[in-house]
Chains A and B, each alone.
Chain A
Amino acid sequence: MNLCQTMEETLIDEAENNGRDGEVAPALIAVHPLEKFVAVAIGSELRVFDLERGFGTNLLDDSGASQHSDSIRTIGFSASGKLFASAGDDKLVKVWSTDSWQCIHKVFSEKRVSAAAISCDDHFVSFADKFGIVWIVSLKENERSDKGTQILAHYCSIITSLEFSPDGKFILSADRDFKIRVTVFPKKPLSGAHEIQSYCLGHTEFVSCVSFIGTSEYPQGFLLSGGGDSTVRLWDFTSGTLLDTCEVGAQAGILGSNGDEGPCCHAVTDICASPDGSLVAVAIQRQVSNLHGVMLLTCDLSSRRLSVSKVVTMQETFIPSSLGMSVSGENLWMVSGASNLPGSVSSALARVKVISRLKQMPDSSELEPAVLEDNEVPGGTKLLETLQGSASIAQEEETLAAAAEAVKTAMRNLLIKRQYSVEKRELRKKSRNDRKLKQ
């Protein structure tokens, strides 16, 4: 038991300390299901661009306060596109209506929030705190509360990703202990989600991201997950069966012979997939590499196989920290950047890029996935101005290089538990006073 206590305290200390020292927070991106809006979170700032109208949107919170007062750790649109949720280190979960971009509901969490998701019917918002507890709040007018109700918990583990299955039947929670838990989302969620459908167990390091795919032919759908073990895995998530594993690290030849790379240096940090699986974009974090960019996979739903289709390379300084795609899967949106850069004046630097699947290649008649030039990006320079904070960011090579470095560090800090030496553990044990109570 002592071991567990020590671990748990480690976790808690860590959760409490993270960010206090101004830790960098990687930029996040989210795309409206019909590509009406693109949102970027950088530090405590939320930036939204309206693609239909072609301008940046003002976010309105009637409290008059700024959107968030500390690093945002999770953003996302609901499946219907009507709602948007943002949450993070300020222990606030905000739900926004995408019609007006008004904050329609605010939830106070006791701890910092690591992940959040809106249920498929837009009736609930669920969020995970740094203690591994998942909470729920009803968004129905007469049931709203500014405090969450606990629905499930991962013991001693930080939840990295929280998602509802597209059919709304399950809520999935992935953690830093290699686990993906699939829980039946009950009819009355406020009384808890106690029925575990399955566990998807196969990752040998932390799980960082999950993404669903499925078509009318496969209504139940499949789950994709990525993690610190440099793999993307395909699951039948209702049974927890691992269907295929794609060693993306090895496939890209980025592992090289350099044996001293830590296990997380080529971690999968985000996955984004078109519903039919024809495009699965994978962001990989690498420390030493001559390859920068994203890896594109395809998932054949009938044979349940993943294969690498292309590596889209980008300039050195662009290391995507987050990916987004609409349901059409036409454009892959990427953001690179981090807030609280040490020694940087611009505290919230982000760079947005888009890979279009339908790019006409210069010396061929074929359409193939490629990075768009800034002027080809939907929404153009206006969008970049809004989401990046500046359109001319491309010129600031040096700052970008620093951002790239910071993102690496940020992702590592975010995903790796701090190592505590054995001596320190022992010390901590000794300093425990409730041990006296034990036999």
Chain B
Amino acid sequence: MSQNPKPSSSSSSKSKSSGLPRKRFYRARAHSNPLSDSHFPVPINPSLFNLSQHYPHFFPDRSNAPKRIEFADIGCGFGGLLVTLSPIFPDTLMIGMEIRDKVASYVDERIRALRTPLGDYHNISVVRTNSMKYLPNYFEKAQLSKMFFLFPDPHFKEKNRRRRVISESLLDEYAYVMKVGGLVYAVTDVEELGEWIRGCLERHCLFQRVGDEEAAGDPVAKVLESATEEGKKVLRNGGQTFRCVYRRIAA
């Protein structure tokens, strides 16, 4: 276990492309935490999640209502979705959450390399974390307007289903960080998983299905299948995909 609260997502201390220091500042715990099974720092609460490290172009934000992250890509993998959505919503802050250290640092470098002085790709960033455990450490109640779950790991085995990134109990947490009216998008190429996800959302009292017609008119829903690395792979192999879009509704 790393004694250092230094985020392991930065393999070098400086980015070659931008020369910016890459170390992100989290509120470090005073000592290595024997209870924390995580090998990465986690902000103690959302107010301590340092946005200016992630979106320096937008901070400091001296307006009355400082910008907040609105979109979260859960298990973002190599970041294709963030990169696709960034120019479509240039003023919206988005974050990818990825548990694999190397993958998260790759996305970090990818975004840094894409950023231009004009402000392109400054609205997207990535954090290495376990979204199944620490979501409330990053987002306030009713903060997010969109959450994405693209091609999540299937966990076929019966006893491993509890590890699925969408489950009835995790949906409680997703409902908490989402604002009423916000949308959850899930896409998978595994039919069984698609049905499972739909079932969980369908049963949950705080989510309601968005009809196919409405989803078809949503510019975001359109890019989902093709935006990510995993999606491209499925497309190339001519695989089928299953999509569901649900709206967070009031209690």
Partner of A199 from B136, B160, B162, B205 at Cβ < 8 Å: B136
Within 8 A of A (CB), among B41-77: 44-46, 75
| Contact indicator B170/A155 (Cβ below 8 Å) | yes
| Contact indicator A417/B37 (Cβ below 8 Å) | yes
Please name all residues of chain B whose beta carbon is closer than 8 Å to the beta carbon of A155 when the two chains form the complex.
132-133, 169-170
When chains A and B are docked, how far (Å) is the Cα of A1 from the Cα of B173? 18
Q: How far is the CB of B74 from chain A (nearest CB, A)?
A: 12
The prevalent SS among residues of B at the interface is: loop
Q: How far is the CB of A235 from chain B (nearest CB, A)?
A: 12
Please name all residues of chain B whose beta carbon is closer than 8 Å to the beta carbon of A204 when the two chains form the complex.
29-30, 33, 44
Partner of A228 from B35, B130, B168, B230 at Cβ < 8 Å: B35
Residue interface bits B78-111, CB-to-A below 8 A is 1, else 0: 0000000000000000000001100000000000
Please name all residues of chain B whose beta carbon is closer than 8 Å to the beta carbon of A177 when the two chains form the complex.
35-36, 133
Residue interface bits A219-256, CB-to-B below 8 A is 1, else 0: 00000000010000000000010000000000000000
Q: How far is the CB of A312 from chain B (nearest CB, A)?
A: 28
| Contact indicator A205/B175 (Cβ below 8 Å) | no
Which one of B119-127, B151-159, B218-226 is at the A interface? B151-159
When chains A and B are docked, how far (Å) is the Cα of A176 from the Cα of B159? 23
**A10 in the interface (beta carbon within 8 A):** yes
Residue interface bits B152-189, CB-to-A below 8 A is 1, else 0: 01111100101100001111110110000000000000
When chains A and B are docked, how far (Å) is the Cα of A146 from the Cα of B168? 23
When chains A and B are docked, how far (Å) is the Cα of A415 from the Cα of B156? 32
Within 8 A of B (CB), among A424-439: 434, 437-439
Q: How far is the CB of B135 from chain A (nearest CB, A)?
A: 9
Residue interface bits A361-397, CB-to-B below 8 A is 1, else 0: 0000000000000000000000000000000000000
**A305 in the interface (beta carbon within 8 A):** no
When chains A and B are docked, how far (Å) is the Cα of A296 from the Cα of B132? 38
Interface residues on A, range: 35 or more
When chains A and B are docked, how far (Å) is the Cα of A422 from the Cα of B133? 20
When chains A and B are docked, how far (Å) is the Cα of A417 from the Cα of B38? 12
Q: How far is the CB of A401 from chain B (nearest CB, A)?
A: 26
Residue of A nearest to B48 (CB): A201
Please name all residues of chain B whose beta carbon is closer than 8 Å to the beta carbon of A195 when the two chains form the complex.
172, 175, 206, 251
Please name all residues of chain A whose beta carbon is closer than 8 Å to the beta carbon of B170 when the two chains form the complex.
155
Q: How far is the CB of A197 from chain B (nearest CB, A)?
A: 8
Partner of B137 from A7, A198, A201 at Cβ < 8 Å: A201
**A194 in the interface (beta carbon within 8 A):** yes
Please name all residues of chain A whose beta carbon is closer than 8 Å to the beta carbon of B137 when the two chains form the complex.
201
| Contact indicator B35/A7 (Cβ below 8 Å) | no
Please name all residues of chain B whose beta carbon is closer than 8 Å to the beta carbon of A153 when the two chains form the complex.
169
**B14 in the interface (beta carbon within 8 A):** no
**A65 in the interface (beta carbon within 8 A):** no
Residue of B nearest to A196 (CB): B176
Please name all residues of chain B whose beta carbon is closer than 8 Å to the beta carbon of A183 when the two chains form the complex.
172
Interface residues on B, range: 35 or more
| Contact indicator B39/A263 (Cβ below 8 Å) | no
Given contacts A177-B35, A417-B37, whether A4 and B130 have CB atoms under 8 Å apart is: yes
Partner of A198 from B141, B156, B168 at Cβ < 8 Å: B141
| Contact indicator A150/B169 (Cβ below 8 Å) | yes
Please name all residues of chain A whose beta carbon is closer than 8 Å to the beta carbon of B20 when the two chains form the complex.
none
When chains A and B are docked, how far (Å) is the Cα of A184 from the Cα of B160? 29
Please name all residues of chain B whose beta carbon is closer than 8 Å to the beta carbon of A416 when the two chains form the complex.
34-35
**A333 in the interface (beta carbon within 8 A):** no
Partner of A263 from B31, B171, B204 at Cβ < 8 Å: B31
When chains A and B are docked, how far (Å) is the Cα of A150 from the Cα of B1? 34
When chains A and B are docked, how far (Å) is the Cα of A415 from the Cα of B33? 12
Given contacts A202-B45, A263-B33, A434-B160, whether A1 and B172 have CB atoms under 8 Å apart is: no
| Contact indicator A152/B172 (Cβ below 8 Å) | yes
**A178 in the interface (beta carbon within 8 A):** yes
When chains A and B are docked, how far (Å) is the Cα of A227 from the Cα of B154? 36
Given contacts A156-B132, A199-B136, whether A194 and B44 have CB atoms under 8 Å apart is: no
| Contact indicator B163/A1 (Cβ below 8 Å) | yes
| Contact indicator A7/B37 (Cβ below 8 Å) | yes
Please name all residues of chain B whose beta carbon is closer than 8 Å to the beta carbon of A263 when the two chains form the complex.
31, 33-34
Within 8 A of B (CB), among A331-363: none
**A157 in the interface (beta carbon within 8 A):** yes
| Contact indicator B163/A196 (Cβ below 8 Å) | no
Partner of B37 from A10, A262, A422 at Cβ < 8 Å: A10
Q: Which of A176, A193, A199 has the most CB of B within 10 A?
A: A199
| Contact indicator B34/A419 (Cβ below 8 Å) | yes
Residue of B nearest to A155 (CB): B132
Given contacts A4-B133, A5-B163, A155-B133, whether A434 and B156 have CB atoms under 8 Å apart is: yes
| Contact indicator B171/A194 (Cβ below 8 Å) | yes
**A8 in the interface (beta carbon within 8 A):** yes
Q: How far is the CB of A67 from chain B (nearest CB, A)?
A: 32
Given contacts A152-B172, A184-B251, A201-B137, whether A176 and B205 have CB atoms under 8 Å apart is: no
When chains A and B are docked, how far (Å) is the Cα of A168 from the Cα of B31? 38
Q: How far is the CB of A402 from chain B (nearest CB, A)?
A: 25
When chains A and B are docked, how far (Å) is the Cα of A152 from the Cα of B163? 15
Given contacts A201-B44, A263-B31, A417-B35, whether A194 and B172 have CB atoms under 8 Å apart is: yes
Residue of B nearest to A419 (CB): B34
List 18 A–B pairs whose Cβ atoms lie within 8 Å, in order of A's numbering: A1-B99, A3-B130, A5-B160, A11-B37, A155-B132, A177-B36, A184-B251, A194-B206, A199-B176, A202-B45, A204-B29, A204-B44, A240-B141, A415-B35, A416-B35, A419-B34, A422-B1, A434-B160
With contacts A11-B37, A205-B33, A419-B1 known, what are 15 further pairs, Cβ within 8 A? Answer: A1-B153, A3-B130, A4-B130, A10-B37, A155-B169, A156-B37, A177-B35, A178-B44, A192-B205, A194-B205, A196-B173, A202-B44, A202-B45, A415-B35, A416-B35
**Closest 8 pairs (CB-CB, A-B):** A153-B169, A201-B45, A196-B176, A199-B136, A7-B37, A194-B172, A155-B132, A195-B251
